[in-house]
Every structure is written in structure tokens, then in C-alpha cells.
Amino acid sequence: MLLKNFLKATVFAVSLSVAGGAMLAPSFAEVVYNRGNSADPESLDPHKTSTVYEAHILRDLFEGLVMQDQNADLIPGAAESWTVSDDGKVYTFKLRGDGVWSDGAPVTADDFVYSFRRLLDPATAAEYASMLYVVKNGEDVNTGKVKPEELGVRAVDASTFEVTLNSPTPYFLEMLTHQSTYPVNKVSIEKLGNDWIKPGNLVSNGAYTLAEFTPNDHIKLVKNPKFHDAANVKIDVVNYIPTEDRSTAMKRFEAGELDSNDDLPTEQLADLKAKFGDQLRIGPYLGTYYYAIKTDKEPWNNPELRNAISMAIDRDFLAEKVWQNSMLPGYSMVPPGIDGYTSAMASFAEESQIDREDKAKEILEKLGYGPDKPLKMEIRYNTSENHKNTAVAIQEQLKPLGVEVTLLNTDTKTHYGHLEQKGDYDVARAGWIADYKDPETFLGISRKASGNNYSNFDSPKFEEAMDKAAAAGGKPEERMKELENAERVLVDEVGNIPLLYYSFHNLVSSKLHGFESNVMDVHPSRFISKD
């Protein structure tokens, strides 16, 4: 069935009853939310995902120990309450009595023990395994030094789950809202193997269950009647529709085929503002748009060369002309806005663009590059008019310096799959959105052990500072200072090239309610209603 017809068929599902030969009025109308999502997920296995495109869907399908509401504030999830030991190392979660899987089986502490161990099991190859290195023996489990059974988690009883950390971790509760820490169903996985995530097979514990998944077309979620808060879930069906072509998405929104979309073509921003008014929402978003650069590959293993490329890029132009002031120029991996933290900016941040370009040219000439001997550089980016326009602008900016830039575009799933599998490249578009409101989420991705370290950055000085920050978990000021030191190393050695700080760009129909703007850009469907 074509998507257009699919949408028409599902927008209104009306039940009619006939009694005594007389047709009665509709008894109910199914509420359907057609939700534009920038890309298809690479997987629906919480332990094998890494992008916000996947997070939106998994947030509807699963429920972690704690979750976020429509304002991105922490609320109880599968756990109804929790306590923390005096030393800040032991968290004890009391699971809710009415928490069940979509097949009716109870969600137990053993489910979380299994899920945490599975995330760290080397056989799972989870990109986000390093997130749980804060748990006792987490890193040793993931590196195969000890068995998963030695991880610092245990089921005190069926409804009590205990986690022991290496040291106090201020962001631990917020970290548990991330999809990698959601519970997965052991019985289903052991019975079905990789097929456990398919429609009809997927057993989940969230507000919705998986009904259909047609790649490049739609993912249909239906309300889970067994969810503990089902009575307050207003949307019956959520259709996640991939919208890599932002311009087409705008037309579909205007035609009423989409109720919301999570991005827009920024070159059309003025027209979109005029056309959609307050249905267009732009605001601060805790995220950094950056280019990963292959730090272990010639010639990019030279920090001086990486710095020259970074200096030559005109971020003001990108923010103002390419992104129409819907983004801010970025010179650090950690964006501004985190309480108690001062981002480490690139050393050239306060210099004029002309001075930066002159210095970059000098470095390149010293290294033997110039118009007569161009430096060849390929930029990979995932499908989006915005990413293409950014890459083209950088291509033009570097050209006068004797840098010969070629562009390679692939769909989002292929793009991130290539980066995750450590494929060959020079420079690649990437973005990092905060998993929790703490600098560590932006810095941790550059640790040697992180599955999200696309640049293969490996710096002993950086690792040392990050270790010191982790050890100082109970001393907030000392911890933040060590994180600042770590970012200073990362920025000076150009482990990545930060370009812009994000804003969210949402189109939201006036028919939707409960889609609240917040710095995490989190919008669980369970809190949304539709006229």
C-alpha cells in the first residue's frame, strides 16, 4: 500500500454499529498521530542504537527505571521510587507493582539485571556500553576481563533492583532515561534471536507496541492496553514516518499528512515562518553539530593539520547564511548552558576570520600543501538539505587554501553504520545531543573505549582528566574542573571539529497538545493529545 493511501486509511478508523437495521452514530474514532522523524532507525534493539531518530521511537516502546515527561523533567518509570546510599554509590529501585510486559508477564528486577549485563556483554557490541562504566566492574565486563555476573547490579527480590557505582555519579538518574538502559525481554530474545524486534515479536513495556515496520515508509505503533498509565494515553496510533527530504516533509505537513516534523530545510526558514507562524518552533537545544575527523589516519593524524582545517572554517557564515541563524557558531564540544561548567573554546575563537585563514594557510604551506599540491579531503554526510549545504559551504571555504574537497552523501542509516563500524573516511558529519544535562555526555564520546568515538581519538592526557573527573564524583567543583581540563585537551588536539550549537527546529500542528518545547527536545507520545 502506498504511504499516501496508508495515511488516508489510518487517519480516521471509525466503528459503526447496526442494530435492528438502523445505522448508529460512530462509537469511537481512533486518534492517529502521524509523526515525521528525520530518518529510519538502524535497529529497534535498545542496546544497538545511538541516534535521536531511534530514541524518539524507543521512548514510546519501552520504559526505563526513570523517564522524562513532556518538559524533559525526571519522573518515575518502571521504578516507582528509589533511594541512594549516604556515600552516593548504591541506588536501590523499587519497581512498580503494576508494571508488565506487553505479553502480560510482570517486569521484574531480574529483567534489569539481564538488560544491564547484556548491554555490557562484549558479544552485544553495544555502542553505548561505556555509558555503564560508572557501574562497578562495568568496564571490566565490557572488555572481557570479568564475567557479566560480576557487574555491580543485583535483584534483591522480584521488585527491588540495586546498582552499585564505582563512585558518586551526579548524572546517573538522568542517564537512566537513555534508551540503552531500557529493559529488554530475555524470554523473547532467547526464543527468537535477532527476530525479537520484528512486528508481532517485539515484547516491550512502554506506552506503545510495535505493529508494523516498512523501511523507508512508516513504523506503526499502537497503544499498549497493559501499560500502567494507559488510561492517560490519548493517542491510539503513532505512525513514525521517515523524512530525510526536509522540503517534501514541509509539503506533507502543509497538506495535513504529517502532524509534526523534527527538522526543516533552513534555507526556507523565512518562508516557513510566514506560512506556518507559531506552528514552527525554534529554540535552544543541548547539542553540538560537529565533523568527526579520522585522527589515526594519514595525514589526519597530525593535530596541526586538523587545527588548520578547523581554523579555516567560517562558522559565522554557516550559522547565519546556511542555517539562517537557527544555529549558533560552535568552538567547543560542550555547548553553553550547563550549570557550573565553562566550556573550553578553541584557541582561535576570538580571532577574526581573516586572521584564522591566514594562519591556516601558513600551516598548510609548512606541511607542503597549497594550490599546486592540494590537500585532498572527503566529507561524508547523511541525507539532508541542511547537511549538504553545510558541506558545500565548507568545500568553498577551503578551496582557496589549496584544499580539494569532495563530497559523499549516503542515507542516515548507512552513514552512521559506516561510522559505527569504523569504516574508512577523512571527515564525516556528526552531531551529539545530550543524553543527560552534564558535560560528560559530550566528552565521553571521545574516550578511547566509546563506541561513539568515530574519530578514533586516543589521548592519554584526555583519558587521565576524564578518570580524575569520574573519581571526583562526590566533589562537584573539582569534578567540573577536571572535565574542563579534559575538554581543553580534546579541543587543543582537535579530536573533533565542533562547528555549531544546535537549536531544535520543529513543526507542530496546532491540533497537537502536550508537545512542549525543552532543551532536550524530548516529546514522548504518551503525553501528547490531538484534536
The DSSP H or E segment spanning 218 is strand 218-223
Q: Residue 420 pLDDT > 50, yes or no?
A: yes
- What average pLDDT does the segment 362-383 reach? 95
pLDDT category of residue 142 using cuts at 50, 70 and 90: very high
Would you state the pLDDT for residue 473? 80
Q: Residue 40 pLDDT > 50, yes or no?
A: yes
**How do 529-530 and 512-513 pair as beta strands?**
antiparallel
Would you state the pLDDT for residue 28? 65
* Residue type for position 180: S
Q: What's the grid cell of residue 347?
A: 584557541
- What average pLDDT does the segment 28-53 reach? 94
- What average pLDDT does the segment 491-502 reach? 98
Q: Residue 6 pLDDT > 70, yes or no?
A: no
What DSSP state is assigned to residue 426?
S
pLDDT category of residue 337 using cuts at 50, 70 and 90: confident
Beta bridge partners of 90: 164
Q: Residue 269 pLDDT > 60, yes or no?
A: yes
> Apex CA 203: angle with CA 198 and CA 209, to 5°?
80
Q: Is the peptide bond before 76 cis (omega within 30 degrees of 0)?
A: no
SS3 sequence, 384-405?
A: CHHHHHHHHHHHHHHHHHCEEE
Task: Mention every residue, 6+ apart, whose C-beta is less than 8 A from residue 118.
Answer: 47, 124, 148, 184, 189
Q: Residue 470 pLDDT > 70, yes or no?
A: yes
Count of other CB atoms within 10 angstroms of residue 229: 13
- What average pLDDT does the segment 18-47 reach? 75
Q: 3-class SS at 84?
A: strand
Would you state the pLDDT for residue 22? 38
Task: Mention every residue, 6+ apart, whose C-beta is less than 8 A from residue 506.
Answer: 260, 261, 262, 263, 280, 281, 282, 515, 517, 521
Task: Mention every residue, 6+ apart, whose C-beta is less than 8 A from residue 38.
Answer: 53, 242, 243, 244, 262, 263, 384, 412
- Euclidean distance between CA atoms 318 and 332, whole angstroms: 16
- What average pLDDT does the segment 506-524 reach? 97
The pTM (predicted TM-score) of the whole model is: 0.86
pLDDT in tens, 124-140: 999 999 999 999 999 99
Count of other CB atoms within 10 angstroms of residue 27: 9
Tell me the CA distances in angstroms from 236 to 16, 201, 481, 519, 525, one per residue in order.
18, 20, 48, 27, 10
Tell me the CA distances in angstroms from 302 to 49, 188, 369, one per residue in order.
31, 48, 14
pLDDT in tens, 435-452: 999 999 999 999 999 999
**How do 32-37 and 260-261 pair as beta strands?**
parallel
Q: Residue 463 pLDDT > 60, yes or no?
A: yes
- What average pLDDT does the segment 483-498 reach? 98
Would you state the pLDDT for residue 27? 44
Rounded to 10°, the helix 303-312/353-366 angle is: 150
- What average pLDDT does the segment 509-519 reach? 97
CB–CB of 59/77 below 8 Å?
A: no
Q: What's the grid cell of residue 53?
A: 531518530
Q: Residue 312 pLDDT > 50, yes or no?
A: yes
Would you state the pLDDT for residue 146? 97
CB–CB of 36/251 below 8 Å?
A: no
Phi, then psi, of 315 in degrees rounded to 5:
-70, -30
Beta bridge partners of 145: none
Would you state the pLDDT for residue 251? 97
* Residue type for position 441: T
Secondary structure (DSSP) of 10-52: HH--B---EETTEEPPPS-B--EEEEEESS--S-S-GGG--SH
pLDDT in tens, 164-191: 999 999 999 999 999 999 999 999 999 9
pLDDT in tens, 62-120: 999 999 999 999 999 999 999 999 999 999 999 999 999 999 999 999 999 999 999 99
Would you state the pLDDT for residue 24? 38
- Euclidean distance between CA atoms 181 and 126, whole angstroms: 11
Would you state the pLDDT for residue 371? 86
- What average pLDDT does the segment 360-378 reach? 95
Would you state the pLDDT for residue 125? 93
- Euclidean distance between CA atoms 67 and 76, whole angstroms: 6
Domains and CATH numbers, the chain: 3-240+509-530 (3.40.190.10), 283-504 (3.10.105.10)
Would you state the pLDDT for residue 11? 39
